[in-house]
Amino acid sequence: MRERGTVAAGRLRLTPLTKGMYNSGMKVVHYSEVPGEDAGEETSGVTIRWVISAEDGAPNYYMRVFEITPGGHTPLHRHAWEHEIYILDGEAELVSEEGSSRVGPGTAIFIPGEELHQIRNPGESLLRLICTIPKT
């Protein structure tokens, strides 16, 4: 029978599922418990929450949750690293050099490095998405 773990200070302490099988050092946190930060000068209405980062011991990839208010947007920019994005709630307009397209909840997006991109919220409700990036 499985035993339940306990959460203390954002870290999960697991009890064994089977003899000799342990998982320790995991971070388990609800995204809303992570302080939101303004995403910067070139954005409008964008809050970012670094839910998994170097501070958590993540050596390769970071996970962020973005909240974009109606009419808000990220900067139109490009950089060397890729993004993986998953739309949780709301409507997103993805802007690139080729134009733009609208997507909704449940959509997965891959943005390769050096691709010009921007995310806008053309809807009437909050746009919430997960964005992962490699350590740069």
Catalytic positions, please? Answer: 131
95-100 long-range CB contacts below 8 Å, 24 or more apart?
A: 95/119, 95/120
Q: What is the dihedral of CA 101, 104, 109, 111, to 10 degrees?
A: 40
**Contact (Cβ atoms closer than 8 angstroms) between residue 92 and residue 129:** yes
**Contact (Cβ atoms closer than 8 angstroms) between residue 128 and residue 99:** no
